[in-house]
Amino acid sequence: MQIRLDKYLADMGVGTRSQVKQYIRKKQVLVNGSLPKGPEQKVELTDTVSFQGQVISWQEHEYFMFYKPAGCVSAGKDNYHKTVLDYFPENKRKDLFPVGRLDIDTEGLLLITNDGDLSHRLLSPKKHVPKTYFARVSGRVTEEEVQKFARGLEIGEKKPTLPARLEILASDPEVSLVELTITEGKFHQVKRMFEAVGKKVLYLKRIAMGDLRLDESLQTGEYRELTEEELEKFKQGTAQ
């Protein structure tokens, strides 16, 4: 596979296409140790491309675990709110996007990537990839409600929700702490499910998607690349 040198460098986050062209003209870029003919020069992905003495290795896809904070939207651009991609340095590649969405007031695990195929598999309704949330809800959650979630709930859609696993972590008359695993992604689904049993979600955090769990060492607004083991296990889970 061949690719234009300026696109190669821009895709790898060295700069914008116009910035990269300036770097090339200023002789700050080498291909296999030699000066390139120009920004339009085609390079193989196996070529050694360097910028200011640093080798820029080609990666077709990148995968990041992001701890989304409340108050930002799961989008690339927004005219009114901070977006999840605003937390990524500008020298990162420009084709990243969030896989799926979390409500603006919901925290937790979000996958950021440029792998459209994986995103499609993860979001496909046919895959039923489980998503697990930690929630603080109003009132006492009972075993009866655990059974209702397990059977599926009417939340105003054509069909009831698919069965969901609700685990009570702590429960008292004022507030309950729970973990909920669902296999769908309906609009405001978690909140609507609790509303269906007379409860209100006070705090919501996604802690897992399939086999991928949020790294507890991350703080809100932080991210890291997925390990090879995490990525392989995650891909296997979405391929089923």
Domains of the chain in start order, with CATH, are: 2-55 (3.10.290.10), 63-125+212-239 (3.30.70.580), 131-209 (3.30.70.1560)
- Relative to beta strand 175-182, strand 165-171 is antiparallel
Q: d(Cα 48, Cα 58) in Å, to the nearest integer?
A: 9
- Give pLDDT, residue 150: 98
- Give pLDDT, residue 239: 62
Res 138 pLDDT > 80: yes
pLDDT tens for residues 139-175? 999 999 999 999 999 999 999 999 999 999 999 999 9
| Residues contacting residue 95 through CB under 8 Å, at least 6 positions apart | 11, 114
- Average pLDDT in the 204-211 region? 95
The set of catalytic residues is: 103
Q: d(Cα 219, Cα 75) in Å, to the nearest integer?
A: 20
pLDDT tens for residues 168-199? 999 999 999 999 999 998 999 999 999 999 99
- Give pLDDT, residue 192: 98
Rounded alpha-carbon distances, angstroms, from residue 206 to 14, 60, 88, 103, 212: 32, 28, 20, 11, 11
- In degrees rounded to 5, what are phi and psi of residue 19? -65, -45
- Give pLDDT, residue 240: 57
- Give pLDDT, residue 78: 87
Confidence of residue 1 (pLDDT cuts 50, 70, 90): confident
pLDDT tens for residues 13-38? 888 889 999 999 999 999 999 999 99
Letter for the amino acid at 199?
A: K
Letter for the amino acid at 33?
A: G
Query: What percent of the chain is modeled with pLDDT above 90?
Result: 79
Rounded alpha-carbon distances, angstroms, from residue 96 to 21, 76, 88, 137: 22, 8, 10, 34
CA dihedral over 132, 134, 138, 143, signed as positive or negative: positive
Asked if 89 and 206 touch (Cβ cutoff 8 Å), the reply is: no
pLDDT tens for residues 217-240? 999 999 999 999 999 988 887 765
- Give pLDDT, residue 229: 93
Q: Which tokens belong to 193?
A: 């499910």
pLDDT tens for residues 64-93? 999 999 999 999 888 899 999 999 876 577
Q: d(Cα 38, Cα 25) in Å, to the nearest integer?
A: 7
Q: d(Cα 207, Cα 195) in Å, to the nearest integer?
A: 21
